[in-house]
Amino acid sequence: MNNTAGARTAPEPIGVQGRAGDIFQLLRDGKARTRAELAGTTGLARSTIAARIDALISSGLVGPAGEATSSGGRPPSRFAFNPAARAVLAVDVGATHVALAVTDLGGAVLAEHRVNQPVADGPEKVLGLVVREAGKLLASASGKTVELAGVGIGLPGPVEHDTGRPVNPPIMPGWDGFDVVSYVQRSLPVPVLVDNDVNIMALGERAAHWPEEDNFLFVKVATGIGAGIISSGELQRGANGTAGDLGHVRVPRGDDVLCRCGNHGCLEALASGPAIAGTLRRGRLEADQGRDVLTLVAQGNPEAIHALRQAGRDLGDVLATVVNLLNPSVIVIGGSIGASGEHLVAGVREVVYRRSLPLATSQLRIGLSRAGDKAAILGASQLVTRHVLSPAVIEATLAGSTLPG
């Protein structure tokens, strides 16, 4: 029997039909290639490659990128992905704000805007603001009309991925079951993709700072606690979209702590921003909410630092099991409380490296978010481009006139 442990499987060749959408995937890394190089990579005839490249050039998704060095005769032309071909509207809906950005197809931010807007005001007010601001933002992103490829929206609550409808969101009154996609498409008739905020933060953080990591965990610590899980390069949502809801996993030391969900000992009841603030209030410190905790930590208050470190240990208790179960190579801590500095992460590391299996932690890195408050915007853009630049959708685009939803 051949020993295949640790062996890498050779990449699958492009399908025999040599679809333009498949060939386009080879160019998405931004590297310019000649027709001959593409033919050599795919095994397709140069005439087939030429026809597919011509179709992609006509769509604007691929453009000329100079000439390659010639060994004699006319230098061959090179071609590359053109991220400026379309724009993406990326939207991050938070508990008290809406952030919008226009990006190109490569995720580069062209224009952005942030508005104070409570999500509790309801979907029509919040999404009405989104579509109004979208027009202004698209106009400011370029001196010419920008063709919109799609809209990506992150919401601060559970989302049914197939429909984009919020499902029993705890801090979003009036949003349960609301048809976000149809509402937005009445004004912006393009693909609209909706997901919960931590999933899009995972996509954004990974794309911007960890693109080579296929097993990646983004943990948001704020009013609640959740994780975006990327395994084998794909976002994992679970059967009903609730994968990663760490906040309601039981922590051993919290048996007597009541959570807002009605259970006792939930991680969120011990380590979220409001929970840490409550701990400090019981110690007679003024801390009404998570940002007060951050202020005290920044001032060097020892009680606040200790409470934050303990919250990290509680989070580490849960993540130690997650590490054994999923074996990520990177865990990134983000969210408003995650932005507090190394104290929270130090507590996480202390427990995870002690309690998880040595093999599971041998190459594990745990650190703070590098994308910060841009993670959600970058992820919302990624949500769209992963869809509209997929092989099947590229084929549909070339066959028609618009990017289908």
Which of 90, 284, 293 minimizes the C-alpha distance to 203?
90
pLDDT for 250? 94
Average pLDDT (215-225) is 95
Residue 292 has pLDDT above 70, yes or no: yes
88 half-sphere exposure, CB direction, 13 A CA radius: 28
3 state DSSP class of 10: coil
Q: Which two tokens stand for residue 35?
A: 């027709």
- Do 131 and 210 belong together in one domain? no
pLDDT given at position 242: 87
Least Cα distance to 207 among 368, 386, 74, 36 occurs for: 386
Backbone torsion region of residue 62, taken as left when φ is above 0, otherwise alpha when ψ lies between -120 and 50, otherwise beta: beta
Q: Residue 6's pLDDT is what?
A: 38
Residues 178 and 29 occupy one common structural domain: no
Residue 11 is predicted with a pLDDT of 38
Question: Does the residue 340 lie in any domain?
Answer: yes
Identify whether 11 is part of a domain: no
CA dihedral of residues 395, 398, 402, 405 (deg, nearest 10)? 0
Domain end residue (candidates: 63, 81, 99): 81
Same domain, 256 and 365: yes
- CA 404 – CA 110 distance, rounded (Å): 23
| Least confident span in 65-79, 116-130, 196-210 | 65-79
Q: Print the domain residue range for 123.
A: 85-190+376-399
Give a yes or no: residue 404 inside a domain.
Answer: no
Q: How many domains are contained in the chain?
A: 3
Evaluate whether residue 8 is within a structural domain: no
pLDDT, averaged across the chain: 90
Residue 185 confidence class, pLDDT cut points 50, 70, 90: very high
More confident residue, 339 or 91: 91
The model's pLDDT over 36-53, given as tens digits with 9 standing for 90+, comes to 899 998 888 989 999 999
Q: Is 36 helix (H, G, I), strand (E, B) or coil?
A: helix
Here the tokens at position 297 are 């930590």
Q: Pick the closest to residue 115 from 137, 99, 128 (CA basis).
A: 99
Helix axes 273-282, 290-298, angle to 10 degrees: 70
Rounded to whole angstroms, how far apart are CA atoms 140 and 259?
Answer: 45
What distance in Å separates the CA atoms of residue 23 and residue 42, rounded to the nearest whole number?
8
Does residue 185 share a domain with residue 169?
yes
Is 323 in the same domain as 216? yes
Residue 2, pLDDT > 50, answer: no
**Residue 341: pLDDT band with limits 50, 70, 90:** confident
Same domain (yes/no): 310, 382 = no
- Shared domain for 134 and 171, answered yes or no, is yes
- From 25-34, 77-86, 140-149, 203-212, the region with the lowest mean pLDDT: 140-149
Q: Does residue 343 lie in a domain region?
A: yes
Q: Indicate whether 57 and 178 sit together in one domain.
A: no
Residue 124 to residues 130, 138, 161, 174, 299, Cα–Cα distance (Å): 10, 21, 20, 9, 41
Return d(Cα 289, Cα 311) in angstroms, integer. Answer: 15
Q: Are residues 220 and 323 in the same domain?
A: yes
Of 81, 111, 130, the domain-final residue: 81
Give the Cα separation of 17 and 202 in Å (integer): 34
CATH number of the structural domain spanning residue 208: 3.30.420.40
Which of 81, 104, 127 delimits the end of a domain? 81
Q: What is the pLDDT of residues 268-289, one digit of tens each?
A: 999 999 999 999 999 889 888 8
Q: Evaluate whether residue 195 is within a structural domain.
A: no
Shared-domain flag, residues 243 and 283: yes
Residue 294 half-sphere exposure toward CB, CA atoms < 13 A? 15
Same domain membership, residue 283 and residue 140 = no
> At 48, which CATH number?
1.10.10.10
Most confident of the following: 158-162, 275-279, 356-360:
356-360
Most distant CA pair in the chain: distance in Å? 82
Confidence at residue 144, expressed as pLDDT on a 0 to 100 scale: 58
Cα-based angle 122, 127, 128 (whole degrees, multiple of 5): 100
pLDDT category at 366 given cuts 50, 70, 90 is: very high
- Split at pLDDT 50, 70, 90, the class of 323 is very high
Res 13 pLDDT > 60: no
54 plus 174 within the same structural domain: no
13 belongs to a structural domain: no
Distance in angstroms (rounded) separating the CA atoms of residues 176 and 195: 14
On whether residue 238 sits in a domain, the answer given is yes
Residue 65 has a CB neighbour count (10 Å cut-off) of: 18
What does the pLDDT average to over 301-324?
97
